[in-house]
Structures are given as structure tokens and as C-alpha cells.
Amino acid sequence: MKREFTDILIIGAGPSGMVSAGYLQQHNVQLKVVEKQRFPRFSIGESLIPRCMDNFAEAGLLETIDKHGFQRKFGARFIKNELVGEFDFSQKFGEGWDWTWQVPRADFDNILAEEIASRGVDIAFETEVIAADFTKENPVITIQHKNGEQTEIEAKFVIDSSGFGRLLPRLLDLEKPSKLESHSSIFTHIKETNRPDGKEGELITFEVLETEVWFWYIPFSNGKTSLGFVAPTAWFDQFDEDPKVAFNQMISKLNYYNGRFDDYEPEFIPKKIKHIAKSVKSLYGKNFALTGNSAEFLDPVFSSGVSFATESGLKAAKLALKELNGANVDWQAEYEDYMNEGIAVFSSYVKDWYNGDLQDIFFHRSPNPEFKKQICAVLAGYVWNKENPFVKKHKRIVGSVAKFINL
């Protein structure tokens, strides 16, 4: 079999892999990216949060993204019956970006990949990693090209950014059940030809149908809009088997958005993803690191996926470079413990969302302005800032505040 050599092999050209690649390319590292699909390809995960702007900036990708005129996102709105909780990222605790984008991912991911390729990085599209051997001094990865031919790639380090493909977790028996409840999702796009002007047609909104059931409205600058539902997996059983019929049945349950989407045909048959949350036994091993969805995925409710994917992609790239340069890397402390800190904060908020405590705070008629700023910083993705009491005391603070305001 043909054999190639590279210093770093990245599996997957999603945002996680492209942020790793952007950082490493800027440091003149020899690298190769292998991507199973042909781009542009659909992906879900369309609402970004401000923290990912720091990561795109460090990977040198921000200016390229900015040129494409994606819909800017300055905050988010949550609606439950007549109650509204709105967050403005400029009104958050601490430092950080005040805005980000909401993006159709097919276009967005394609722009990132084209930019990285234009800088001379070798991205092999329609090429799938099918095996990995980590027993030798250097990992040997087997890839299969579109024509069925195979090549072995010997790399000094492998960054697995294969998303829900979860390549190394599957091949190396690293999968672990998530501690979060089992939720599923169904979603599609519409061409919203009669979109209201201003905020109503721009602001990302989450409508809560029941404490554990919510709907997203994400308008894009290209005139299309993403609509989706997230709920406990069993909730979906009450609807028709046909996803298009089922989606319409769910849409008819909306309150705030009732009637708004009745005249639109879905752009594609609504897609369903079951059992969203994913976890692993370890985020790294000898000569490899897992990043993005290949590592951990919690829940879409706070739009943290791409931020986590780019944070881990950037961190793994920095540490891999350090190791390549002969320095000792403590992957447990410098990677896994660091990433787990952020994961733990978001996990607390996901649990507090679905048990209703966070919703009690969001929908309170006279919210405490300081608490709101501190929660807003968490929603913006600044979950490593321990000066924020809502980060530092994440395990208990939401429950305590909810109890207090409900008295």
C-alpha cells in the first residue's frame, strides 16, 4: 500500500479541524487534512456564540468570514407563552466579544475550508479514514479515496475532529454514555420570502413549548431560515412517522410563532438526530487528541457546540505543536482538565435549563441586572472566567437563585 508522511494529520474539515489547521499553518507545520465528504455539505449547528470569535481570530480566519456578510448575532431571545427573556451580549459580565454570526453551515464550513486550502494546506476531500494503528512509535492511519484505493499515512500526531463520525472514540473504544438526559432533534430550512423587517426577522429566538421541549428560529442573511425542535427522545413518538408531516404537526403547536411558517415548504425533508449527547472516556491518548463533537457534545440549547469545537481544536493544535517542538506536554492538565472545566459549566446550565430553574430566572418579570449580566457571559461562552460567580459556583448558583426568586 502507498505510504505518506506528515507531522500532523487532522481528521475532518469542520470548524474544529479548520481552526486547528489555521493555527498550525500559521506556524509552518507540515499537515494534512482528510475529509470524508465533498464540500459544501450540510451540517447543523448554525447559531454561534461570541467565544468562538476569539478562536477564529487566533486561527487567522475571522477576516475571511467577515467578508461574506453572514447575519450578525448580538444576543438571543427566549419566549415562553407571554414571557420573554432577552440577552444582549454587549450587556455581559467581563471582557469578550459582543457579537457573532448565525450561519448556514454548508456555506460557512466551505468558506473556512477554501481559505485553509488557499494557504497551501493539503485537504483531501471525499477521502475517509477507515483504520488507525496507534501501537507503533508513530500512528499509522489508513485512508480510502473515492476510487476505493487506500493509502497509509504515518503522522507524528493525529487530531481527530471527525464530529459525530466520532472516529477514534469508535476505533479505540473510548465511547462513554453521556450523563445528560437523552434528547433528540428534528430540523429543516425554509425560504422565508415574507420575513418581517428588523428584529423580528433577525433575532435568533427559542420558543419553549414545555419545560423540556423547545423550538429554534434562526434567520440567515441569504433569506433562508432554520427551524428545529429539541425534546426528550420519547416526545417525538406522538407524531407521524413521515418527518414532513410530523414537523408540520409540531409547528402547529407553536404559540408565539403560530401561523408564521404555514405558507412555506421545507427546503429539505426534516432531518432527525436521535440521542444527541455524546461523551468519551478520555479526550486524548498517546499521539492523539479528540476535539469538537468527536470529544463531547452536550445539547444545542446554548449553541455552545461550535465554540467548544473551535476551543478544543485550537488548544489541541497548540499543544501538539509544543510536543512537536520537543517540549513536554501534560495532556491531562493542559488539555483534558481545561476542556472539562468549560464542559462542566455548560453541563450545569443544560441540567438547570431542563429542570426549569434557569427558565424561572430567564422568564422572571423583574430580573436582577447583575445576575443577568453574569448569566449573559456564560451564554456568550466565557465559561473559563472564574471571576464570574455564575461560572465559579456553576453547580449550585442557578438552583439557589431560582429557589430564592420563587419564594
Residue 13 engages ligand FAD in binding (rule: CB under 6 A): yes
Within 43-72, the residues that bind ligand FAD by CB under 6 A are 43-48
Residue 278 engages ligand FAD in binding (rule: CB under 6 A): no
Backbone angles phi, psi at 77, to 5 degrees: -125, 140
Alpha carbon distance 289, 92 (integer Å): 32
Residue closer to ligand FAD (CB basis): 300 or 402: 300
Residue 296 engages ligand FAD in binding (rule: CB under 6 A): no
Min dist. Cβ of residue 229 to ligand FAD (A) = 9
| Range in contact with ligand FAD (rule: CB under 6 A) among 37-45, 68-76, 79-87, 190-198 | 37-45
Min dist. Cβ of residue 186 to ligand FAD (A) = 8
Residue 292 engages ligand FAD in binding (rule: CB under 6 A): yes
Residue closer to ligand FAD (CB basis): 37 or 64: 37
Show the cell assigned to 107: 456555506
The answer to whether the beta carbons of residues 154 and 187 sit under 8 Å apart is no
| Range in contact with ligand FAD (rule: CB under 6 A) among 62-70, 78-86, 252-260, 293-301 | 293-301
Residue 185 engages ligand FAD in binding (rule: CB under 6 A): yes
Spatial CB neighbours of 158, under 8 Å, sequence gap ≥ 6: 8, 9, 10, 11, 132, 139, 141, 168, 287, 288, 289
Min dist. Cβ of residue 149 to ligand FAD (A) = 15
Ordered DSSP codes for 107-168: HHHHHHHHHHHHTT-EEETT-EEEEEE-SSSS-EEEEE-TTS-EEEEEEEEEEE--GGG-HH
Alpha carbon distance 220, 237 (integer Å): 30
Show the cell assigned to 63: 477576516
Q: Residue 202: how many CB atoms within 10 A of its CB?
A: 18
Residue 178 engages ligand FAD in binding (rule: CB under 6 A): no
Residue 273 engages ligand FAD in binding (rule: CB under 6 A): yes
Contacting residue, 6, 8, 15, 205, with ligand FAD by CB under 6 A: 15
The closest of 68, 77, 19, 92 to 47, measured between CA atoms, is 77
Residue 306 engages ligand FAD in binding (rule: CB under 6 A): yes
The answer to whether the beta carbons of residues 313 and 159 sit under 8 Å apart is yes
Residue 316 engages ligand FAD in binding (rule: CB under 6 A): no
| Range in contact with ligand FAD (rule: CB under 6 A) among 239-247, 259-267, 302-310, 354-362 | 302-310
| Residue 77 amino acid letter | R
Helical segments of 260-396, H only: 292-295, 305-324, 331, 338-354, 357-362, 369-379, 389-392
Residue 24 engages ligand FAD in binding (rule: CB under 6 A): no
Contacting residue, 190, 309, 361, 380, with ligand FAD by CB under 6 A: 309
Min dist. Cβ of residue 19 to ligand FAD (A) = 8
Burial string for 132-145 (b: 16+ CB within 10 Å, else e) reads: bebeeebbbbebbe
Within 124-143, the residues that bind ligand FAD by CB under 6 A are 128-129
Residue 167 engages ligand FAD in binding (rule: CB under 6 A): yes
Alpha carbon distance 212, 199 (integer Å): 26
Residue closer to ligand FAD (CB basis): 15 or 360: 15
Residue closer to ligand FAD (CB basis): 185 or 279: 185
Residue 300 engages ligand FAD in binding (rule: CB under 6 A): yes
Please name every residue paired with 122 in a beta bridge, in sequence order, or none if there are none.
32
Show the cell assigned to 258: 403560530
The 3-state secondary structure of 283-315 reads CEECCEEECHHHHCECCHHHCCHHHHHHHHHHH
Residue 219 engages ligand FAD in binding (rule: CB under 6 A): no
| Residue 218 amino acid letter | I
Residue 11 engages ligand FAD in binding (rule: CB under 6 A): yes
Residue 22 engages ligand FAD in binding (rule: CB under 6 A): no
Alpha carbon distance 337, 341 (integer Å): 6
Tell me how many residues contact ligand FAD (CB under 6 A).
Answer: 37
Residue 374 engages ligand FAD in binding (rule: CB under 6 A): no
Min dist. Cβ of residue 348 to ligand FAD (A) = 18
Site residues (vs ligand FAD, CB under 6 A) = 11-17, 34-37, 43-48, 128-129, 161-165, 167, 185, 273, 276, 292-293, 297, 300, 303, 305-307, 309
